[in-house]
Structure 1
Amino acid sequence: MTTTSSVGSAGRCTRYALALLACGSLFPAIGSALPPAEVQGNTTTAPAVSPLPQASPANSYSLSFKQLGRRDPMYLRGVESTDSADFGIRTDQVVTGVQLVLRFSYSPSMLPELSQLNVLVNDKVAASLPLPKEEAGKDLEKVVEIPARLVTDFNRIDLQLIGHYTMQCEDPLHSSLWARVSNDSQLNIQYSPIALKNDLALLPAPFFDRHDARPLKLPFVFDAAPGPAKLEAAAALSSKFGALASYRTATFPASIGQLPSRGNAIVLVTRRDALPLGELSGNPATGPSVTMMTNPNDPYGKLLVISGRNDAELKTAALAVALGSKALSGATALIDRLDPVPVRIPYDAPNWLPADRPVKLGELVDAQQLHVSGYSPREIIIPLRLPPDLYEWRNRGAPLQLKYRYTPQQFSTNSALLVHLNDHLIRSMQLPSVPNLNGEPQWLEWLKKDDSLPREASMYLPLDISTFKAQLQLRYMYDYIKQGECRDVIVEDMRGQIESDSTLDLSGLDHYTPMPDLAKFRDSGFPFTRLADLSETAVVMPDANGPEVLSAYLTVFGRFGDSTGYPTTGVQVIQARDVETVSDKDLLVLASASDQPLLKLWTDSMPARSESSHHFFDLSDLALRIHDWFSPDSEAAVRKTRSTLAWSGSGTPYLAGFESPLKSGRSVVVIASSEPSRLEEVTAAMIGGDDYKELIQGRLAVIQDKQITSLTADQPYYVGQLGWFRHLQLLLSRHLGWLLFSVLLGFALLCALIFLGLRAQAKRRLS
């Protein structure tokens, strides 16, 4: 990709930004980041800024510990115990105040004069909370003021329990020494916004800021109703930002001809004069170009303007941002040339575990995260994004070759390394103490030069308990041997390590799965994401694309990017009249009101349909429990258990999956609502969250506010490839009549062979 920048080189921009940063540090009163009248402590160092009016002091937001990645409450045990949570501050914000709302409880047995709960920010003490006896055992809420001077870009909050239960000698791990900190505890952050330079070298900031833990909400603005090429460009961008925001989810509200009143946005235009874009409005595009500019409605907001003389040039500029934004600099970049996009192969998504070779665990997490220390160390968590169509029936699972090290104790009986997959115990491996290394003299010699022992173990991770976003959990459990009164002192010299070259191998597993399966679509975007660039996917848009439909379209593609970690550069957008031209692709169909002709054309294939104000949904709950095992047509047995629910009134949003009427083995997923504004309910249900008690699954899921109802769950076809022997096993398992016939046929052949053999032997004896 070749770019021409309208503002200096990247090196000059960097030096200029550093110079402004230094000036801002020396003269804090100058700049656009003006703090409120009352500010505790100093503000954090800010990027290069330009003078702007004073920002409102009302800017604030809250982050719970759950949003910061703490799935469970913190449990602090023993005379001294620490746990932590990390948070960041956006590049375009300067902190003016932080309050920690701490929700916790603690043991009634601890002595208040010797016990306390310390709050540390970046290893500096922010507060020390007393633990009075009268509040012990209760659910408490305390507000801790954190000085703004302690807060930087990336921050760590440590909660340290100092606990004692007696004035005499004590057991450092006594059960009465505990405190529990809820993951509903939260940080309240006040800030002043600052205006960043218009420099493409900052990308993806400020549109995506890696310091921010809140869900990403990034508006898209079109100059007019978009055509297919412009929609493909928007999909590449939304999937790119969806991939970046994978850890915090993303939504992309869309508008036509209207810039947002505040904040940042992506703008896609072929006619710059259609929007109030300042100087850009009077300068028509001369080719594919990318511009960062200030939002005319917000001096602190930025617009990323993707433009071209036509939709094809606009798509080129969008792909340049999606694939190579790190090469851009200056306020404007003109894209002279874009190299061909690399061809993707199935299952090569960057976020997915490779299915063609053993994967080292060191490729999945930073090596430092594989090291732990202490008697009760943290759990080692390795995220596993498995291809969603791995064949699991009659399969031992994925082989894991685990290499690990541990510090052998002088006296212990119950130390172990526990291996879990999605909280299911896979294996428990003993960690022998030094006296128990009998028959292994080489290890005793080893310990003279290294205090940790290397070990290996082989096991299989069962696929039937794995999910797309699976977690491999490893925990060292060291047995603490008490020495007696006044002799127990905890020395944190225990170490554990999972070797980076431990491997998980998926290469011997088949890819074959029953369809349709909306759970796979919800979690991973399958089957569309089988190819990371979605080059075997076509999107069938309604005849009229309003902002609600566009928002749903962009958010779904953000989910695809979240799944694969790669922009959807190969997707094709069409309308219903062109569907025959994409018969060899998987189809994503969006429908609102009555503007999607395919819903009527494919009525016989769909589990849901609407006719004016009349709506019909297939029901097949009994299909999960009733099966005519002796029917030669197993699918007919399923169809017998179906019924249809019909009603009149306003429509309900739904997702439906079925086999493509254009080609067997290809899939169709329909996202539909008779009211365009309710398509947002479908995308919100796909993202999920604590508000949803059920999950999207089956082949038909109806969404009503926060309620998800799966009405049909039969899976009449398969996708993928399977070896002939496994395919025969699966076929016979689904048809009991064929299985009995095969057994009888095999028995008859065996009898025939025995008969022929005995007759031949009799002839030889007689002759």
Structure 2
Amino acid sequence: MNMSWTLPLLLLTLIVGGSPVQAQQATSVDELEEWQLLPRWQEDYSLNAAANAQQLRIDGLRPEMTIGFGGRYDRVVEGAELDLAFMISPAMVDTVSQLRVSMNQEVIGTVPLQKSMANTVQQRSFNIDPRLFTSYNQLRLELISEVFNGQCTLASPAAWIEFLDDSTLTLDYQQLRVANELSYFPEPWFDRNDFSAVNLNFVSFGVPNLATAEAHAVLASYFGQAADWRAVTVEHFDVEPAIGSLLQDHEWRQQWPRDHAIMTLTNAQRPRPFHNLEKVDAPTIRVIPNPAYPAYKLLLIAAPDEQQLRATVSTFVLSNQTMSGDRVVVNPQPIEPREAYQAPRWVSTQRPVQISELVDHPSELQRSARNTAPVNVELRLPPDLFIWQRNGIPLDLRFRYTPPLTEDESRMLVSINNEFVKAFDLNDSGSENTEERLRIPILSGSLLPEEDNVTLPSFRLGAVNSMEFRFDFGNVSDVCSTPPLLNSQGVIDGNSTIDLRGYDNYVALPDVQLFMKTGYPFTRWDDLSQSLVVVPERLSSELYVTLLMTLAKLSGATGYPATQLQLISADDLPDTTEKDILLLGSDSLQSFLQTYGTAQLDRQVERQRLTGREQLLYSPQLALRNSGPSAAVVGFQSPFAEQRSVVAVTSTTDSYLSRYREALTSDILSNQMTGFLAVLTPARVSSFEPQSDYYVGNLSWWNRLMYHLAKYPVLVTVLALLALLVLVIALYRLFVAKVRVRQ
């Protein structure tokens, strides 16, 4: 196809909001070029990953397992195949044992199970009708089995099926062409029904300057808060080099994402292929086809200038619920800074919080005898919650259940972070004993897990915790062990409350794991109104991506976009500030230390065996020569204020910031990052504990005195003895004085 007439047609359709493929309906499919076609592709999903930490095992007592996964609205499943690899128990009865496989309550196949199949890996494949797939799908695996013992038929854990890690679900997709309609937003850029990682594609002509990058970072933070527990990755597409050859060949398309993308423009920025777009008098949000791959969409945010662009994005991320049509005009509104500890995803310390607020749907709190998976409730606490000398967090737990026919071993088990807390007997009342209230036990110390040389059972709450409630329904017969009644039901009452009122906020820093997991201390104010993000005057593409992913991570932890973000260069950092400082880039930390001194960092570095890594902090050029590529996250007290912190993300070169971004999306790596400094090399993560702590938070002078004295038991003993001695002497003198008076 001749590009000389194709591109003008493309630009024309962009301006009027149409699709270039729709404009060529008369053209046969065979004549369309590859970039004009609706893409088709295949993806493999591991059942082990989709099970989300569930054990891939069913047995006679728990004969059913359900694996849920979503489906995007902008694609359709054209074909599906389930490949199961499993091993079975030798206790199966040949005539009655079978594996039943269902998709969205439709049976897609069964497998007869025989003793002869034991001790060998079994492979079975099932073709699935693609019409069964919806926006939310449930794959159900059921064991139908009996084991005979005399005259009794019983369900036994001896009858089991273990599914192996190489069990996969293969789906054939075709992309759908969606309308230019903003009422679907944030779809298709983010789909809540898609449980996989969120990938954001930002397109720009050259690396954005600081003003534009700040607007992009706020937009990335919006998608981060929407993504919640999902990982967020960002790709930057610099299409500037392709502009010169735009009209000659198809190579320019290779610079564009083959996916949905995001772009911002001002009236001063009108590079091709957008130079024909009208200039805007007011900020405008548009959705148009991706000019390189029209099957996908481009979110285009246009403003008269960069200042209005920043205000437009902040208003847009808070006020996009009522949009309609292919474009909207934005009237930027002033946004007031928020108070501390208002993060929507953190359990409030100002009021009791109901468990129903911690789940997406009330059905998540209900279970039956057939669906025995535990009720999981995510509990996100303020990272600096002060729990010293507290015997637990009060949980006013209420639940209901079908009363058992006879007294049996039916129980409701409560666990926190896979640690058993308490069991409640299920009696004939059908509800909890109102005299029993639960306190989640805690072990005072850091809110994040660390190594303990303690052999006694203990519980440690993290910043992000999993509360688990499991209904174990007993059997209906005393003679035989038989399955529980199928109509047995149990539900955690959504009105159950967690009450953190009266708890203080006080934590020892530096602790880079708090930053990696929760964005603390910056996320105390979820809109980042009390933070400064410092970068070089000119961003590299790697640093730009790192900035956006970091902001997405912070807002994912709080559930609120960073509408008050302040992005400044190192040269613009004020001589004094009462804000927390986040330094990003290979040069930002060195520039900061050269200007404001190294005293705060020296306190942590001295006596540390960094084996040359100190050069990473003070001289990146030497670090690269001495020890190869390294990235680091380092925290220390701000030189400007005792209650403020500095966290620096640095590396030997900006290109190696990719190692830090990998840690942002990996629990395995971030769990290893502790202390005041975590160094990431190609082989490992090395963490260094602080030599000198500082404390952030609000605590009464008495509690602060008692807390710090408790670290020195010998000193406390000596002070107590001295106080006792002073008291004895005072009493002695008092009694002597009274005797003299009487004489």
Correspondence for 1:269 among 265, 272, 286: 265
- Classify 1:170/1:726 alpha carbon distance in 2 versus 1 (closer, same or farther; 3 Å): same
Change (3 A) 1:113 1:599: farther
Structure 2 CA distance, aligned partners of 1:415 and 1:539? 54
What residue in structure 2 maps to residue 628 of structure 1?
Answer: none
* Percent pairwise identity: 28
> How far apart are 1:297 and its partner, in Å?
1.1
The 3-state SS of whatever aligns with 1:126 is strand
- 8 Å CA contact retained: 2:63, 2:370: no
- Per mean C-alpha deviation after superposition, the further-off stretch among 453-462 and 100-109 is 453-462
Cα shift readout 1:677-725 (whole Å, capped 9, x = no counterpart): 11011021122145x4952111100111362110334452000011222
Please give the per-residue CA displacement for 1:410-433, whole angstroms capped at 9, x wherever unaligned: 43353322211111122223334x
Q: Secondary structure at the match of 1:648?
A: helix
What is the CA distance between 1:654 and its match in structure 2? 0.6
Which residue in the other structure is 1:180 paired with? 162
- Aligned pair 1:695/2:695, yes or no? no
The two structures have a TM-score, normalised by structure 2, of 0.84
What's the CA shift for 1:743? 2.1
Name the counterpart of 1:562.
556
Unaligned runs of 5+ in 1: 1-16, 18-23, 25-29, 37-50, 435-442, 444-450, 610-615, 623-643
- Residue 110 of structure 1 deviates from its aligned partner by 0.8
Q: Structure 1 residue 712 and structure 2 residue 706: aligned?
A: no
Secondary structure of the residue that 2:708 maps to in structure 1? helix
1:675 counterpart = 2:653: yes
Match of residue 580 from structure 1: 574
Corresponding position of 1:742:
719
Question: Given residue 109 of structure 1, which amino acid in structure 2 is its aligned partner?
Answer: A
Q: How does 1:275-674 map to 2 (within 5 A)?
A: 275-278=271-274, 281-335=276-330, 337-365=331-359, 366-374=361-369, 377-432=372-427, 434=428, 455=434, 457-464=436-443, 465-480=460-475, 482-484=477-479, 488=482, 490-580=484-574, 583-592=577-586, 597-602=591-596, 604-605=598-599, 607=601, 620=608, 648-674=626-652
CA separation of 1:480/1:602 partners in 2, compared to 1, >3 Å: closer, same or farther?
farther
For 1:33 and 1:731, how far apart are their aligned partners in 2? Answer: 78
Q: Assess, with a 3 A threshold, how the Cα gap between structure 1 residues 289 and 496 changes in structure 2: closer, same or farther.
A: same
TM-superposed CA distance for 1:149, in Å, is 1.6
| CA distance 1:596–1:763, shift in 2 (3 Å) | closer
1:752 counterpart SS class: helix
Residues 702 and 339 (structure 1), Cα distance of their counterparts in 2 relative to 1, 3 Å cut: same
Amino acid at match of 1:243: Q
Indicate yes or no: 2:212 matched with 1:230: yes
Q: Which amino acid aligns with 2:38?
A: A
Q: Aligned-pair distance for 1:232?
A: 2.3
Contact 1:542/1:592, CA 8 A, preserved across alignment: no
**Deviation by residue 1:358-390 (Cα, 9 ceiling, x = unmatched):** 111122123222222228832111110100001
Moved more, 248-257 or 547-556: 248-257
Report the alpha carbon displacement of residue 112 of structure 1 after superposing the two structures with TM: 3.2
What CA deviation, in whole Å up to 9, does each residue of 1:616-659 have, x standing for no partner?
9766479xxxxxxxxxxxxxxxxxxxxx9998253411110000
| Cα drift, residue 676 of structure 1 | 1.1
In 2, Cα distance between equivalents of 1:177 and 1:744 = 66
Instruction: Output the amino acid matched with 1:672.
Output: T
- For the residue of structure 1 that corresponds to 2:173, the secondary structure is strand
When normalised by structure 1's length, the TM-score is 0.81
CA change 1:281–1:61 in 2 (3 A) is farther
Unmatched 5+ stretches in structure 2: 1-17, 241-254, 444-459, 611-621
- 1:592 is paired with a residue whose SS is coil
CA contact (8 A) 2:61 2:483 kept: no
Amino acid at match of 2:498: L
Which amino acid in the other structure matches residue 671 of structure 1?
V
Distance 1:152 1:170 in 2: 42
SS of structure 1 residue aligned to 2:364: helix
For 1:686, the equivalent position in structure 2 comes to 664
1:582 shift after superposition: 5.9
Distance in 1 (CA, whole Å) between partners of 2:215 and 2:333 is 16
- CA shift, 1:760, in A, is 4.5
CA distance in 1, matches of 2:163, 2:677: 41
Asked if the contact 2:354–2:498 (Cα under 8 Å) also holds between the matched residues in 1, the reply is yes
Specify whether residues 606 and 134 from structure 1 end up closer, same or farther in structure 2 by C-alpha distance, changes over 3 A only. farther
Supply the distance in 1 between the matched residues of 2:598 and 2:62 (Cα, whole angstroms). 67
SS in 1 for 2:391: coil
Pair 1:578–1:424, CA change in 2 (3 A):
same
Q: Tell me the distance in 2 between the aligned counterparts of 1:33 and 1:535.
A: 55
Q: 1:527: how far off?
A: 0.3
CA contact (8 A) 1:272 1:282 kept: no
Q: Work out whether 1:127 is the aligned partner of 2:109.
A: yes
Q: Which moved more, 1:666-675 or 1:63-72?
A: 63-72
* Corresponding residue to 1:199 among 148, 158, 181: 181
CA distance change for structure 1 residues 125 and 167 in 2, over 3 Å: closer, same or farther? farther
User: 3-state DSSP class of the match of 1:144?
Assistant: strand
| Contact 1:403 1:456 (8 Å CA) reproduced | no
Contact kept in structure 2, 1:67 and 1:214, CA below 8 Å: no
> 1:272/1:105 Cα in 2 relative to 1: closer, same or farther (>3 Å)?
farther
Change over 3 Å in CA distance of 1:192–1:584 after alignment to 2: same
* Cα offset, 1:88, TM superposition: 2.0
Q: 1:581 to 1:761 in 2, by over 3 A?
A: same
The 3 A distance-change label for structure 1 pair 398 and 175 is: closer
Judged with a 3 Å threshold, the aligned counterparts in structure 2 of structure 1 residues 724 and 459 are, in CA distance, closer, same or farther, namely farther
Deviation, 1:347, is 0.9
Distance 1:652 1:167 in 2: 63
The match for 1:11 is none
Q: 8 Å contact 2:386–2:504 — kept in the other structure? A: yes
Kept after mapping to 1: 8 A contact 2:268/2:305: no
Q: CA deviation at 1:516?
A: 0.7
Are the aligned partners of 2:75 and 2:175 in contact in 1 as well (CA < 8 Å)? Answer: yes
Between the aligned partners of 1:324 and 1:708, the Cα distance in structure 2 is 41
**Deviation, structure 1 residue 737:** 7.0
Mapped pair 1:89 → 2:71: yes
The code of the aligned residue for 2:265 comes to V
What CA distance in whole angstroms lies between the structure 1 residues aligned with 2:26 and 2:727? 92
Please tell me the residue identity of whatever aligns with 1:156.
Q
What value does the CA root-mean-square deviation take over the aligned residues? 3.3
Aligned to 1:631: none
How far is the alpha carbon of 1:305 from its aligned partner? 1.2
- Distance in 2 between residues matched to 1:507 and 1:139, nearest whole Å: 54
The answer (yes or no) to whether the contact 2:81–2:125 under 8 Å persists in 1 is yes
**Partner AA of 1:316 in structure 2:** A
- Alignment-mate amino acid for residue 162 of structure 1: I
SS in 1 for 2:219: helix
The alpha-carbon distance between structure 1 residues 342 and 277, as it changes in their structure 2 partners (threshold 3 A), is farther
| Structure 1 residue corresponding to 2:256, chosen from 248, 260, 268 | 260
In structure 2, C-alpha distance between the alignment counterparts of 1:246 and 1:149, rounded to whole Å:
29
SS at match of 1:253: strand
Q: Is the 8 A contact 1:532 1:568 kept in 2?
A: yes
